[in-house]
Amino acid sequence: MITAPGELEIRAFPLVPPAEGWALLKVLASGICGTDLHTFRGEIRQYVGTPHERTISYPVICGHENVGTVAALGGEVLDAEGRPLRVGDRVVPGANVACGRCPSCRARLPYYACERLEDYGNSLGADRPPHLFGGWSEYMYVLPGSRLFRVPEGLPDAVAALAEPMAVTHGLEHVEGGVAGATVYVLGCGPLGACHLVKARAMGAVQVYVADLRPARLEVARRVGAAGAFLVGSTSEDDRLAAIREATDGRGADVVVEASGSPDAFREGLRALRFGGTLIEVGAFVGSKPATVDLAADICLRDVRVLGVGGEDDAAYAPTLRLLAARWQELGVGELVTDVLPLARAAEGIARAASGRAVKVQLVPDAGE
C-alpha cells in the first residue's frame, strides 16, 4: 500500500467472507499504471478543472489493471454477460464502478463523469473495510455493481491484465472512415501508446510510426510491428514530420495518437495530420500543461478532428479479451509486459515503470524472489 507520497508499506488485513453481492478475487497479476505513479509521487488531484475533480487520499492499495480467480462469492454474483460466476472462474474486473443513477450516468457520459464514481486501486482507500480494493495484493474485494469479464481459456494472465489499458484504445474505433489501410502516428510509446500501436495494427492500419524519448520502448515497438520508430532528442520534429510525409506521398498521417501528455507532442501531432485527419488525445490525465496551437492553421482550415479520451470504455473489455485470445501471439502482445515482479519488490517495479526503460510492469503475488 502507498501510505504517503513516496512511501510503501506491506500490511496484512484479515480476510472476511464477502457480503451479499460482493466477490473476493485471488489476484493473479496487476499492472503498474501511470496513474499509480502519479499517486506514488503525491500527484493526487484528478480530473482537474472539471466538475468531477477529486483528490485521492492515503493509504491506498493501487492496482486497477487486474486479473484474478474467484475465491469466494457473497450469494449469486453475475458476470458482465449476466451469467452466474463460480469459485475458480478467471476474470478481469472492470476498473471503475459508476453509480448508474446520477444525471451523468443516465446521459450515458463516460464513467469519469459519474458523481459517485468508485474505482479500484484509486478512490477506494485501504482505510475502508474490507480494505483490499486494489490489485497490488494477494486478494481483492469486488463491490456489487462491478463488471466482471471472463478470461478466455488459454490467454496468459499477463496478457489478460492488459485488458484495461487495451480498453482505453476505443478512440481508434471512432475514427471517421476507420483505421483499416490508414497510416497512424503514435507519440509516446509507453503502455498506452504501445497498446494503441497493437490495436491499430489489429484494425488493419497499413503502417504505424512511433516516437518516444526512450530507446528501450522504441525497441519493443519495433518488435510489435512499428513501421518506423523515432527517438525524440536524436531526431528533430521537422525530421519526423518529413519522414511521415514521405511515407504518405506528402499527405500526412491519417490518425495521430498523442499518448505522452506533452503539449509539444500535441502540437507535433496536429502538424503530422493530413487534411481531415483525426488526433486522439489520450496522454493527459494528472498535471497536464496547456498547449498553444493556431486554431485556424492547425485545426479549422485543415478540417482536423480532435478526440479526447479520458479512460477506458466499459463496453470495450469483452471484445478486447476476445481479440487478445484470438491474436495475442500474432500481434506480439506479450512483448508489452517487460517486467514481472513479486509484491515484495513493488518499489523496484515503480522505479522501473517510472524510468521509461520498461513498457508494462506487473506485480504478481506468487512471482517469487
**12, three cell numbers:** 496484512
| Cα distance between residue 127 and residue 3, in whole Å | 10
Residues paired with 273 in a beta bridge: 253
Q: Looking at residues 136-155, what average pLDDT do you find?
A: 97
Task: Answer yes or no: are the C-beta atoms of 216 and 197 closer than 8 Å.
Answer: no
Residue spans of alpha helices (H) in 76-176 = 103-106, 157-160, 163-167
pLDDT average, residue stretch 234-255: 98
Residue 130, C-beta contacts closer than 8 angstroms, at least 6 positions apart: 13, 16, 141
In this prediction, residue 367 has a pLDDT band, given cuts at 50, 70 and 90, of low
pLDDT at residue 356, rounded to an integer:
86
pLDDT at 369 over 50: no
Name the nearest CA neighbour of 56 among 73, 43, 68: 43
Radius of gyration of the chain (CA): 20
- Is the distance from CB of 247 to CB of 239 less than 8 angstroms? no
Share of the chain above pLDDT 90, in %: 90
Task: Inform me whether the pLDDT recorded for 249 exceeds 60.
Answer: yes
Indicate the SS3 state at residue 221. helix
Q: What does the angle CA 43 – CA 348 – CA 214 come to, to the nearest 5 degrees?
A: 75
Contact 265, 283 (CB under 8 A): yes
pLDDT classification of 136: cutoffs 50, 70, 90: very high
- Distance between the two ends of the chain, CA-based, in angstroms? 19
CB 132 within 8 Å of CB 140: yes
Q: Which residue matches cell numbers 517510472? A: 354
Q: What are phi and psi of 64, to 5 degrees?
A: -125, 5
- Contact 274/254 with Cβ under 8 angstroms? yes
Cα(69)–Cα(120) distance, rounded to whole angstroms? 16
Average pLDDT over residues 313-325: 95
pLDDT(7) > 90: yes
Three-class SS state of 217: helix
Q: What is the pLDDT of residue 53?
A: 84
Residues 6+ apart with CB under 8 A from 83: 150
**Dihedral of alpha carbons 329, 211, 339, 167, sign:** negative
DSSP three-state, residue 302: helix
What does the alpha-carbon distance between residue 193 and residue 260 come to, in Å, rounded to a whole number?
Answer: 8
- DSSP classification of residue 173: G
For residue 304, the model assigns a pLDDT of 97
The stretch 182-189 carries a mean pLDDT of 98
Local structure of residue 74 (DSSP, 8 states)? S
Whether residue 281 is predicted with pLDDT greater than 50 in this model: the reply is yes
CA dihedral 265, 268, 273, 276 (to 10 degrees): 80
Would the pLDDT of 288 be above 80?
Answer: no
Burial 209-244 (b: 16+ CB within 10 A, else e): bbbbbbeebbebbeebbbbbbbebeeeebeebbebb
Look over the chain and give the mean of its residue pLDDT values, rounded to a whole number: 95
What's the pLDDT tens digit per position in 50-74?
Answer: 777 889 999 999 999 999 999 999 9
Asked if pLDDT for residue 368 goes beyond 50, the answer is no
